[in-house]
A and B are shown apart, each in its own frame.
Chain A
Amino acid sequence: MTDVIVIGAGVCGTAVARELSKYKLSVMVLEKEEDVCVQTSKANSGIVHAGYDARPGTLMAELNVKGNRMMEELAQKLDIPFVRNGSLVISFEKTASELERLYEQGIRNGVEGMKILTGDEARAMEPNLSKEVKAALFAPTAGIVCPFELNYAFAENAAVNGVEFRFDTEVKNITKTGNGLELDTNQGVYRAGYVVNAAGVYADVLHNMVSGQKIRITPRKGEYMLLDRGVGGFVSHVIFQEPSKYGKGVLVTPTTHGNILLGPTACDIENREGTNTTAEGLSEVREKALRSLPGLPLDQVITSFAGLRAHEDGHEFIIGEAPDVKGFIDCAGIESPGLTSAPAIGLYVADLIAALAGPERNPQFIDTRTGILDPKKLSVKERNRLIRVKPEYGNIVCRCEMVSEGEIMDAIHRPVGARTLDGVKRRTRAGMGRCQSGFCSPKTMEILSREWKLAQSEIRKSGKASGIITGIVKEDRKEDSE
């Protein structure tokens, strides 16, 4: 029997797990996929929202502002790329009433330093902004974070502090027992005193397995495009559009790695696995982004993708013990600003469980984590010393992002290490660049196969059925002729 089982290894689940590892509790994370950060957390804007969007008085507003304030220290401790670059909500309207409403809301939510700018003032900050921009709400506390890295950092730090991870483990049913909960999974039965439901777009399914008070989560698809780092200087702030007669706008933002990200759209769908992009969605992203920045170099798009937000009917985070299920703690409906709020959600849930279970503090808790060593950030002397000790750091595998074999090996061997091509990509950026892994994937496959001692045919992209190769060349033909 485990003290706490967290379902879902996304950014919320791992944030909760890490906070729980500060206590003397046995904690386990169950994830139905093969890695952390493979569903909602992997496909989002990477924005640290200032906090003027959420309705005052909601948990969403509270945790957004709190999460934002926690980000600096967390980024430092966990070695996560984070930049407080500020955001602009731009308006094309003559009257700035919507911006004023957001400003008022921000004040009530405790957002500091906001200012309403004229179009010209906004253009002075962002010279590529459209001439049509009449006003903007500037929020200096907004920022950008690497969403993958935040998720990996929580998971790795949790693992170092004793949290166990079980991948490819899907919860099929949950039942109440005398002293806790029983989880029926494809990998056998798990028992826990407390269960944290951080299952993203499946959080309602899990909740409804055990609670009579039903909730409903709708997958809300958001489509994105990513531009080459070569044009990364095109914008420096997060640029939102004020909702208008053209509908909800899309944002344009630099990423912490120097790309430009455009999106997301917002479209409610049925399929909880529907992460496909659509012609309509991509064209909406293009058109709306061009409205903010008419000169946007859309010929520099290197990839597009879609993510699913876990939208709850009431558009509010549902965090807390289910009223009719003792020990079942929901962490549901975590859509934007979920990433920003994740550190605060982790703390909130851990406090809640601590209050219920009354555990002792873990005196051995290690609160720092070091990310994958990036040789590019070293001086020539340090880099050469590193290459002498471990020559793989001198062997560049991904030529677009200049990622070395040493970094890929680090990604594989660190706690909760990469097992797939996409796992390596999101941890190291190998394959994330302008050729989109065309050159490096055969080499990365070779490294994965060597380090995990797996046949190349067992190397996957992401997901059980995502094998990269279907066989060996002449063997295939022999089989066919037999």
Chain B
Amino acid sequence: MKKELVIIGGGPAGLAAAIAAKENGVNEILILERDHELGGILNQCIHNGFGLHTFQEELTGPEYAARFIEKAERLGIEYKLNTMALSITKDRKVTAVSAKEGMFEIEADALILSMGCRERPRGALQIPGYRPAGIYSAGTAQKLVNIEGYMPGREVVILGSGDIGLIMARRMALEGAKVKVVAELMPYSGGLKRNIVQCLSDFDIPLRLNTTVVDIAGKERVEGVTLASVDEKGRPIAGTEEYIPCDTLLLSVGLIPENELSKGIGVALNHVTKGPVVNERMETSVEGVYACGNVLHVHDLVDFVSEEAACAGRYAAEYLAEKRSGISEREVSRIPVIAGYGVRYTVPSSVSVDRMEELLTVRFRVKDVRRNCFISVYADNKRLVHIKRPVMAPGEMEKVMLKKKELQAYKTADSVTVKIEEAED
């Protein structure tokens, strides 16, 4: 089988990328989705708050997904459900398997990676204790409650204040469970401020910062966990232990982009985001392979996933059009985009002034909570952007816009650096 564009994953990123590619002239598109329906993790996110940026209204996850699914259907975009991509080669041959079609191969002219992410499990944290039933990653619990209709427990402690953990604190409380505490290792929450207010404060669920789980009791089912305060390096402080009886421990301790297929292709990965390194066109280090959504870097808001994925779809379409008209990959000089002081990473990590559009969105996260600071962008030593922000937190993705006309003068710069600067007196 041959396709112009194969998209791995039919969640919000894959759908938005497919739609944009179709609207930009790609005819043969195929989405491979491992689940039995399109929409990805949105299908289990039955709470509202999705789409404020995209549609200026508050939708539930399934509603938000439905808008994209309907559009993809309307545009006649082909997809295969219950289909697992097993491997991908550097020359974009995808091997997949499904119960219906068995194993098959697709040769793609271009590829978009949109496999999403997975939750960091208990084992990765090396929390000591027993390994009983009753320990779930928050997303697994969300699936059990919202999709399967099962209660994973009645007395709950949540470790990690990532958004899924916060959402599940509220969800479990609404279903009659007692959520005793949300413990967070860091001195700040990893989730969106609005979720802390709406999911914890409104339900009188305490959030304990600088706190972690140091022991899990119960050989067969969780019977309780021991919490302890941690020092500035995250190490438990002796003498601060507190035993909390519970039958369930939910973990919301980080998401990891799922790049096993990307590694097989040979795509270069960023060690901070654990996602592919991409340029201003969302193209990875392998020609014709694009990445977007949570497989690229973990987002907080699906609106930005859709926006980013639409770019990837559009650029993949451009790439295919150039290929059709015989333009081979041009030699392009790119300036590295560097995460400077206070910034964990940037996406993209390089920019070509010639190939960029009038405005380029650079997304990034700060390393820790910052108040009354500036986001600055430098081309070499010249400051191009300087925006004051009252507060920035690692749990909320930031962005800054680069203007092509401003960068024109710095085509030969060694780097473009995004950094945080303290307020000047």
Binding site for B on A (CB under 8 A): 225-226, 230, 273, 275-279, 281-282, 301-305, 380, 383-384, 387-388, 391-396, 399-400, 402, 405, 434-439, 441-442, 446, 456-457, 460-474, 476-477, 480
Whether B175 lies near A439 (C-beta < 8 A) is no
Cα separation A405 to B98 with both chains bound (whole Å): 11
Whether A467 lies near B221 (C-beta < 8 A) is yes
16 A-B pairs whose Cβ atoms sit less than 8 Å apart in the complex: A275-B130, A279-B128, A302-B123, A302-B124, A303-B122, A383-B103, A393-B99, A394-B99, A435-B119, A438-B119, A438-B136, A457-B150, A460-B133, A467-B221, A473-B151, A476-B176
Whether B220 lies near A463 (C-beta < 8 A) is yes
Partner pick for B219 among A303, A396, A463, A468, CB 8 A cutoff:
A463
Minimum distance in angstroms from A38 CB to a CB of chain B: 11
Whether A469 lies near B123 (C-beta < 8 A) is no
Minimum distance in angstroms from B210 CB to a CB of chain A: 17
8 more A-B contacts (CB under 8 A) besides A464-B220, A465-B221? Answer: A279-B128, A301-B126, A303-B121, A303-B124, A387-B102, A394-B100, A405-B99, A476-B177
Residues of chain A with a CB closer than 8 A to B136's CB: 438
Residues of chain B with a CB closer than 8 A to A474's CB: 149
| Residue B214 CB within 8 A of the other chain | yes
Whether B152 lies near A226 (C-beta < 8 A) is no
Which 5 residue pairs across A and B have the least CB separation, nearest first?
A303-B123, A436-B121, A463-B220, A391-B99, A461-B133
Cα separation A32 to B221 with both chains bound (whole Å): 18
Cα separation A304 to B215 with both chains bound (whole Å): 13
Q: Chain B CB within 10 Å — which of A282, A446, A466 has the most? A: A466
Whether A466 lies near B103 (C-beta < 8 A) is no
| Residue B360 CB within 8 A of the other chain | no
Cα separation A465 to B82 with both chains bound (whole Å): 34
Q: Chain A CB within 10 Å — which of B148, B150, B263 has the most? A: B150
Whether A279 lies near B236 (C-beta < 8 A) is yes
Residues of chain B with a CB closer than 8 A to A277's CB: 126, 128-129
Cα separation A436 to B98 with both chains bound (whole Å): 23
Partner pick for A301 among B124, B145, B176, B247, CB 8 A cutoff:
B124
Residues of chain B with a CB closer than 8 A to A225's CB: 126
Cα separation A305 to B140 with both chains bound (whole Å): 21
Whether A465 lies near B84 (C-beta < 8 A) is no
Minimum distance in angstroms from B167 CB to a CB of chain A: 16
Whether A438 lies near B145 (C-beta < 8 A) is no
Minimum distance in angstroms from A374 CB to a CB of chain B: 13
Whether A477 lies near B175 (C-beta < 8 A) is yes
Whether B150 lies near A471 (C-beta < 8 A) is yes
Q: Chain A CB within 10 Å — which of B97, B136, B140 has the most? A: B97
| Residue B86 CB within 8 A of the other chain | yes
Cα separation A152 to B375 with both chains bound (whole Å): 60
Cα separation A66 to B219 with both chains bound (whole Å): 36
Binding site for A on B (CB under 8 A): 34, 82, 84, 86, 97-103, 118-119, 121-124, 126, 128-133, 136-137, 139-140, 143-145, 147-154, 175-177, 214-216, 219-221, 236, 247, 260, 263
Whether A395 lies near B99 (C-beta < 8 A) is yes
Q: Chain B CB within 10 Å — which of A278, A281, A282, A442 has the most? A: A442
Whether B263 lies near A230 (C-beta < 8 A) is yes
Residues of chain A with a CB closer than 8 A to B140's CB: 437-439, 441-442
The chain B residue with its CB closest to the CB of A298 is B126
Partner pick for B130 among A276, A405, A460, A473, CB 8 A cutoff:
A276
Whether A387 lies near B99 (C-beta < 8 A) is yes
Residues of chain B with a CB closer than 8 A to A463's CB: 132-133, 219-220
Residues of chain A with a CB closer than 8 A to B126's CB: 225, 277, 282, 301, 304
Whether B144 lies near A442 (C-beta < 8 A) is yes
Whether B132 lies near A466 (C-beta < 8 A) is yes
Residues of chain B with a CB closer than 8 A to A462's CB: 133, 220
Partner pick for A466 among B133, B149, B150, CB 8 A cutoff:
B133
Minimum distance in angstroms from B78 CB to a CB of chain A: 19
Whether A470 lies near B128 (C-beta < 8 A) is no
Q: Chain B CB within 10 Å — which of A305, A395, A464 has the most? A: A395
Q: Chain A CB within 10 Å — which of B128, B136, B148 has the most? A: B128
Residues of chain B with a CB closer than 8 A to A380's CB: 103
Residues of chain B with a CB closer than 8 A to A304's CB: 123, 126, 128
Given contacts A303-B121, A476-B154, A477-B176, contact A399 B34 (CB under 8 A): yes
Residues of chain A with a CB closer than 8 A to B150's CB: 456-457, 469, 471-473
Residues of chain B with a CB closer than 8 A to A278's CB: 128
Residues of chain A with a CB closer than 8 A to B119's CB: 435, 438
Whether A470 lies near B154 (C-beta < 8 A) is yes
Minimum distance in angstroms from A126 CB to a CB of chain B: 24
Cα separation A301 to B147 with both chains bound (whole Å): 30
Whether B133 lies near A467 (C-beta < 8 A) is yes
Whether B121 lies near A394 (C-beta < 8 A) is no
Partner pick for A476 among B130, B151, B216, B247, CB 8 A cutoff:
B151
Partner pick for B82 among A281, A395, A461, CB 8 A cutoff:
A395
Minimum distance in angstroms from B74 CB to a CB of chain A: 29
Minimum distance in angstroms from B128 CB to a CB of chain A: 5
Whether B131 lies near A305 (C-beta < 8 A) is yes
The chain A residue with its CB closest to the CB of B119 is A438
